[in-house]
C-alpha cells in the first residue's frame, strides 16, 4: 500500500467554534449591575444619650404609612402620587410660608450665602406595611430631592445634577440636604 500522508487538520473552522462559544458567553453573561435605592442609616444611638431638642412643628414633614399602605402626611391623608409634590413644596418653601420650614443662612461654595431649609422629613411606618409601599414612599421622597437638585443645577450651570463635578454636587447637596429621618418602629393602626 502506498504510504499516504496524513492530511493536515483544517483549522479554518476553529474560528467558527470559538465564535460560537464567544456568542454563547456574550448572551449568557448578565453584567447584571444591581441597582436600588441607596440609603444611609443613622448610627446607633448610645443608650444614655439625652433626647435631642424638640424640632419645631413647621420644620417637620411627617409621613406616616400604616399597615394598609395608606399615607398620612402632616395629618392629612394623601395618595402616593401626590407625595412628591408635597415634599417638594416642603423642601423649597418658595413663598416663605409660615407653616413650612424656616431657613438658616449658610455659606456654600459657588453660591455664597444662601438660605438653607431646616426642614426634616420624618418617615414612620408600621410593621405590617408592605415593602413595596414603603419603597415607593422612599422613592417619591428621593424623587422630590432629585428634582429640586436638578432644577437648581440647571439654573446655575445649565446641566443636570448628575453631570456636575463633585464639588458642584457637594454645593448643591449643601443647599438641599437630604434629611429623611426614620423613627424607631412603632405599631400604628394595628388591625
Return the range that interacts with other proteins (CB under 8 A); candidates 34-42, 46-54, 102-110, 153-161.
34-42
Task: Provide the 10 A C-beta neighbour count for residue 175.
Answer: 18
Residue among 19 and 115 whose Cβ is closer to other proteins: 19
Task: Lay out the site mask for other proteins across 8-27 (x = CB under 8 A, - = otherwise).
Answer: ---xx-xx--xx-xx--xx-
Residue 79 binding other proteins, by CB under 8 A: no
Return the range that interacts with other proteins (CB under 8 A); candidates 32-40, 52-60, 106-114, 168-176.
32-40
Task: Provide the 10 A C-beta neighbour count for residue 143.
Answer: 14
Radius of gyration of the chain (CA): 27
CA–CA separation, 141 and 87 (whole Å): 7
CA–CA separation, 168 and 153 (whole Å): 8
Residue 114 binding other proteins, by CB under 8 A: no
Q: Determine which helix (DSSP H) or strand (DSSP E) holds 20, and give its type and residue range.
A: helix 14-28
Q: Site residues for other proteins, window 132-191 (CB under 8 A)?
A: 132, 134-136, 138-139, 142-143, 146, 182, 185
Residue among 35 and 49 whose Cβ is closer to other proteins: 35
CA–CA separation, 73 and 62 (whole Å): 6
Residue among 25 and 51 whose Cβ is closer to other proteins: 25
Residue 68 binding other proteins, by CB under 8 A: no
CB of 142 to other proteins, least distance (A): 4
Give the CA-trace dihedral at 119, 125, 131, 133, to 10 degrees: -60
CA distances from 130 to 27, 76, 99 (A): 35, 20, 31
CB of 13 to other proteins, least distance (A): 9
What is the three-state SS of 115-128? EEECCEEEEEECCC
Q: Which residues of this chain interact with other proteins, rule CB under 8 A?
A: 11-12, 14-15, 18-19, 21-22, 25-26, 28-29, 33-44, 125-132, 134-136, 138-139, 142-143, 146, 182, 185
Amino acid at each position: 500500500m502506498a504510504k499516504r500522508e496524513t492530511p493536515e487538520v483544517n483549522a479554518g473552522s476553529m474560528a467558527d467554534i470559538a465564535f460560537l462559544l464567544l456568542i454563547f458567553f456574550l448572551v449568557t453573561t448578565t453584567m447584571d449591575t444591581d441597582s436600588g435605592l441607596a440609603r444611609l442609616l443613622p448610627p446607633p444611638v448610645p443608650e444614655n444619650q439625652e433626647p435631642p431638642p424638640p424640632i419645631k412643628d413647621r420644620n417637620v414633614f411627617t409621613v406616616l404609612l400604616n399597615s394598609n399602605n395608606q399615607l398620612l402626611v402632616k395629618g392629612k391623608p394623601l395618595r402616593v402620587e401626590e407625595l412628591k409634590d408635597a415634599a417638594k413644596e416642603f423642601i423649597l418653601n418658595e413663598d416663605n410660608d409660615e407653616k413650612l420650614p424656616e431657613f438658616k443662612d449658610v455659606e456654600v461654595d459657588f453660591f455664597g450665602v444662601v438660605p438653607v431649609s431646616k426642614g426634616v422629613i420624618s418617615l414612620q411606618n408600621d410593621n405590617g406595611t408592605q415593602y413595596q409601599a414603603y419603597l415607593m414612599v422612599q422613592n417619591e421622597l428621593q424623587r422630590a430631592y432629585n428634582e429640586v437638585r436638578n432644577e437648581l443645577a440647571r439654573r446655575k450651570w445649565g446641566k443636570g445634577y448628575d453631570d456636575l463635578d463633585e464639588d458642584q454636587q457637594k454645593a448643591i447637596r449643601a443647599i438641599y440636604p437630604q434629611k429623611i429621618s426614620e423613627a424607631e418602629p412603632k405599631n400604628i393602626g394595628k388591625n
